[in-house]
Structure 1
Amino acid sequence: MPLPIVIADDSLLARKVLTRALPEDWDVEISYATNGREALDHYRAGRAAVMFLDLTMPDMTGYQVLDALQHEDLNTFVIVVSADVQPLAQERVRALGAVAFLPKPVTPEALRPVLKEFGLHA
């Protein structure tokens, strides 16, 4: 059974780059969100065992999504993918429950060890 994942980013290009970085042999069902509210909708519908989350999106930021997930008993692996690589941003997202932080653009070489660390891919 495929693992449901959501890629949440308002940039079509960023969504495509991240999709291409996913391991080819990873059995996943991908949903896409263009803002934080859509990401939460996917989560609530059970389509986000793993969530790749941008921080800067319209309507609802990645920080706000993480905060909402905490209040809903976070039950997903959130990997933040952002161009904001400042240490403070990384600390803040981890405090809000993200398991990892990857800088944009994501490469397969950067993503694979993170997936392996959390038992999401061999």
Structure 2
Amino acid sequence: MAKILVVDDSMVARMCHIASIPKDQGHEIAEASDGLSALEAFRAMEPDVTFLDLTMPGMNGLDVLAAIKEDYPNAVVIVCTADIQRQTLEMVEKLGAFGVLSKPCSKEVLQEKLARALEKAEQNRDE
């Protein structure tokens, strides 16, 4: 059983992501709707995998990612965004995201990325 945090200011997007996470694996799922609550939830939960939106009011996803990686360098964060500009993707990579999902993404793509992210989280625990 893994701990998964889903962060997006859109309730619809959060629900779509959560609905795509396999129910039969008993994952603990938390959600946040903005950057500050995302950081609070992350620190309280220390999730195995975080799905993080970039465009949010207040503290954006890039700032959240930077703060998470500063305190938790091995955190496995998947950025979910409709902004697929090269500059944005380079910044996400530079900040240490595990990967990027283009929004909207299919259930299959999300599940595939989640499976790889959970493997990475397991490797990080073993190190």
Under a length normalisation based on structure 2, what TM-score does the superposition of the two structures give?
A: 0.84
Query: Which amino acid counterpart does residue 82 of structure 1 have in structure 2?
Result: T
Structure-to-structure mapping, 1:1-122, within 5 angstroms:
2-118=1-117, 119=119
Query: Which amino acid counterpart does residue 50 of structure 2 have in structure 1?
Result: M
Please identify which structure carries the higher helix content. 2
Structure 2 unpaired stretches of 5+: 121-127
Structure 1 unpaired stretches of 5+: none
Percent of aligned pairs with the same amino acid? 39
Under a length normalisation based on structure 1, what TM-score does the superposition of the two structures give?
A: 0.87
**Equivalent residue for 2:123?**
none
Report if aligned partners of 1:49, 1:75 keep a CA contact under 8 Å in 2. Answer: no
Residue 24 of structure 1 deviates from its aligned partner by 3.3
CA distance in 2, matches of 1:28, 1:70: 23
Query: How many residue pairs align between the two structures?
Result: 119
Q: What is the CA RMSD across the aligned residues, in angstroms?
A: 1.6
Report if aligned partners of 2:93, 2:99 keep a CA contact under 8 Å in 1. Answer: yes
Report if aligned partners of 1:18, 1:107 keep a CA contact under 8 Å in 2. Answer: no
In the TM superposition, structure 1's runs of 4+ consecutive aligned residues that sit over 4 Å from their partners are none
Report if aligned partners of 2:69, 2:75 keep a CA contact under 8 Å in 1. Answer: no
